[in-house]
Amino acid sequence: MTDIGIVGAGAAAAAATYLVDGAVPDASITVLEKSGGLCGRAATRRRDDVTYDYGANYLKDDDDRVVDLVSAFDDGLVEVAGDIYAFDRTGSVSEGRDADERKWTYRTGLTRLAKHLFGATDATVHRRTRVEGIARAGDAWTVTDAAGERWGPFDVLLLNPPAPQTAALLETADWESEARADLLSATRDVDYRSVWTAVLGYPFELDRPYYALVNTDKGHPVGWVAREECKPGHVPDGESVLVVQANHEWSVERYDADPAENVAELAGHAASLLDDGRLSDPTWTDHQGWRYALPESGLRRGARTAAEDAGLYVLGDWVEGEARLHAAVRNGLDTGERVVYAL
Ligand SMILES: Cc1cc2nc3c(=O)[nH]c(=O)nc-3n(C[C@H](O)[C@H](O)[C@H](O)COP(=O)(O)OP(=O)(O)OC[C@H]3O[C@@H](n4cnc5c(N)ncnc54)[C@H](O)[C@@H]3O)c2cc1C
């Protein structure tokens, strides 16, 4: 029996779990996730008959391995309809990006991806379990959660949280070694962009030729506006739902401000960008601050090798160096393969 511990249940962890579980029949995999849900920043909420992805907006068909994996889990998979148009710092909208890429989500939202992947394994996932410390115990690893409970020993430990949260865990490791020092300093070097998201619901339909608008010159307070009704199964007929993401500077400045004021300001921007005054007055709203939304760089090459020799792996979009869901999944598959090879 090989005991594997995984901290975090993001998309990268789900892909790694799926790969290792399939390749190592005697693996016992324990996943500890701090939140109540699966799939991390690829996050979905429901409200009455509405489903909305309020973190990652969709999964891009950018990578053959990821496409193969997703195709094997196509129950409920849907394509987002419509193109992405651009807007500039003045709010002027124009036809934008390449229309050829497929954009995927699930009828029940992006979290379905992790539910599919974990559901196909024998892994045990413990939600609402925040890991606060990791320790080296002989040749194995243990972790301690916020309630003081100790988990393990694990032959292999995988860390999936965003870089700053992984760094905080590495700091706790009573494992004095060059491998830890190297990995910790490289992990601390990964910077993030923040995103403050408002979700706006309306009791009427919008007729627009695009799915979303992206700010291309980074000069507008809003970085992205998407129409959730372009995702089959997400919004009932006769309604609209906008997901509005503020840019990094606005998000940092307003991170702790009154959420109602933030939502009102972003609704005003949406009304102006989509040129419809009704949009400044949504009938319901939701919001989420993402402090560690998008990694700006990747883990320095070579920084993880020595830690992996000791059975400690880091994984996620920040390890790959691409702030995208498909990159996180690909990194999970690659990491899972290295774990299998090492075992
Ligand atoms: C606002 C926003 C918009 C985005 N838009 C897109 C998009 O349109 N397209 C796209 O491809 N990508 C997008 N992304 C990026 C995409 O969401 C990420 O690249 C991807 O989800 C990262 O997956 P991951 O597995 O690397 O990490 P995460 O999803 O961050 O998973 C890490 C997990 O670890 C858990 N965790 C953290 N600390 C602990 C702890 N101490 N103990 C236990 N568990 C812990 C977290 O709760 C989380 O579940 C967006 C992200 C955000 C925030």
How does pLDDT run across 219-272, given as a tens digit for each residue?
Answer: 999 999 999 999 999 999 999 999 999 999 999 999 999 999 999 999 999 999
Asked if 262 contacts 202 with a C-beta cutoff of 8 angstroms, the reply is no
Q: Cis omega before residue 153 (within 30°)?
A: yes
User: What's the gap in Å between 41 CA and the centre of ligand 1?
Assistant: 3
Q: Which residues line ligand 1 (CB under 6 A)?
A: 7-13, 32-35, 40-42, 55-58, 60, 130-131, 160-162, 165, 195, 197, 245, 290, 293-294, 316-317, 323-326, 328
> Atom 48 (ligand 1): residue with closest C-alpha?
40
How close is the Cα of 241 to the center of ligand 1, in Å? 22
Q: How far is the CA of 138 from the centre of ligand 1 (A)?
A: 32
Q: Give the model confidence (pLDDT) of 64-84 as tens digits.
A: 999 999 999 999 999 999 999
Residue 5 near residue 32, CB atoms below 8 Å? yes
Atom of ligand 1 nearest to the CA of 328: 26
Across-strand partners of 145?
131
Percent of the chain's residues with pLDDT above 90: 96
Nearest CA residue ID for atom 53, ligand 1: 293
Neighbours of 95 (CB within 10 A): 11
Domains and CATH numbers, the chain: 2-43+113-191+298-342 (3.50.50.60), 57-108+192-295 (3.90.660.10)
The arithmetic mean of pLDDT across residues 111-122, rounded, is 98
> To test ligand 1's pocket by mutation, which of 194, 325, 331, 334 has the most ligand atoms within 8 angstroms of CB?
325
Q: 313 CA distance to ligand 1 centroid (A)?
A: 17
User: In angstroms, rounded to a whole number, what is the distance separating the alpha carbons of residues 244 and 266?
Assistant: 7
CA–CA dist 173, 39 (Å, integer): 26
For residue 306, report the distance from its CA to the centre of ligand 1, in Å: 25
Mean pLDDT of the chain: 96
Burial 262-287 (b: 16+ CB within 10 A, else e): bbebbbebbbebbeeeebbebeebbb
Does 137 have pLDDT greater than 80? yes
In this structure, of 9-23, 168-182, 274-288, the range with the lowest mean pLDDT score is 168-182
Q: What is the pLDDT of residue 99?
A: 64
Q: Give 97's pLDDT tier (boundaries 50, 70, 90).
A: low
Residue-level pLDDT at 98? 60
Question: Is 90 exceeded by the pLDDT of residue 174?
Answer: no
Nearest CA to ligand 1 atom 29: 40
Relative to the CA of 316, which ligand 1 atom is closest?
26
Q: How far is CA 155 from CA 141, 217, 234, in A?
A: 6, 48, 42
Q: Three-state SS for 145?
A: strand
User: Which residue's alpha carbon is at the smallest distance from atom 14 of ligand 1?
Assistant: 56
Could you tell me the pLDDT band of residue 103, with boundaries at 50, 70 and 90?
very high
Which band of pLDDT confidence, cut at 50, 70 and 90, is reported for residue 62? Answer: confident
In the chain, pLDDT over 70 holds for what percent of residues? Answer: 99
Ligand 1 atom with minimal separation from the 168 CA: 41
Cβ neighbours of residue 330 under 8 Å, at least 6 residues apart?
Answer: 15, 63, 65, 66, 320
pLDDT at 176: 86
Query: Residue 146 Cα, ligand 1 centroid: separation in angstroms?
Result: 21
Whether residue 295 is predicted with pLDDT greater than 90 in this model: the reply is yes
Average pLDDT over residues 25-36: 97
Q: Is the pLDDT of residue 156 over 70?
A: yes
